Structure formats: C-alpha cells, structure tokens
Amino acid sequence: MIEQIFTLTQGDQKTVEKVLMDENIHYVHMIFNKGEGMPEHFANAKNIYMTVIRGLLSIGLDEQEIHEYSAGTMLKIPFNTKMNVRNLHDATLELIVVKAPSPEAK
C-alpha cells in the first residue's frame, strides 16, 4: 500500500484530534458542542486554514468583535493572530484546521 490512511472521529462528542502532524503540515480535526471551544491563543504557524464542516463557528480574532461562519466556509488566519474559537450555538460545530507550513518547518 502506497498511501497512508487517517481516520477522523465521527459523532458529536468533544474532540480535538491531531490527525497528521509532520514537517509539512499539522492537520487537526475538532468537534465542539454548545459552550465548548479552544482556550484563547495565538496562531503559531505562518498560515492557519480553518474549515467549518458543520455548525456555526463563532470566532474572535485579535481585538475585533466575534464573527460567525457557517459550514462550507474556510478562513485563512495569519501568524501571531490572537484567536478565540467557540461554539455559541445548539448545533454541533465541526472544524478542520490546517497549519501550513508546520510550526516546526524551518
């Protein structure tokens, strides 16, 4: 078998899984229920690509007010941006986050 296979968790339970973490990219799958999210932090990769798979993402970047993005939306967030990622709604939120290049890349 030439390809590598990675399986994402299915369901509605809170999940933050590091699916692929190598020298090229970090690929992280997240599932959050209402009131859940990530601790406030700063983007640690040159670019972060955040794709909303389902639900409604509520995100505050730097000092701007919270914006909301629905399924099918991809955000590109630059290095060192303060991020506050939350699910403020009843529907389950599911995200794919890709950091490229990987924070470890030289």
CA angle 3, 96, 76 (to 5 degrees): 115
- 80 — alpha (psi -120 to 50), left (phi > 0) or beta? left
pLDDT tens digits for 37-94?
A: 999 999 999 999 999 999 999 999 999 999 999 999 999 999 999 999 999 999 999 9
Task: Find how far residue 59's CA is from the centre of its chain.
Answer: 11
Instruction: Give yes or no for residue 102 having a pLDDT over 70.
Output: yes
Q: What is the mean pLDDT of residues 97-102?
A: 91
Q: Where does the pLDDT of residue 106 fall: very low under 50, low under 70, confident under 90, or very high at 90 and above?
A: low
Residues of 9-44 as b/e, b for ≥16 C-beta within 10 angstroms? eeeeeeeeeeeeeeeebbbbbbbbbeebbbeeeebe
| Cα gap 29→59, rounded to integer Å | 16
Q: Which pTM was predicted?
A: 0.92
Answer whether 87's CB lies under 8 Å from 58's CB.
yes
CA angle 27, 30, 31 (to 5 degrees): 160
Per-residue confidence (pLDDT) for residue 65, from 0 to 100: 96
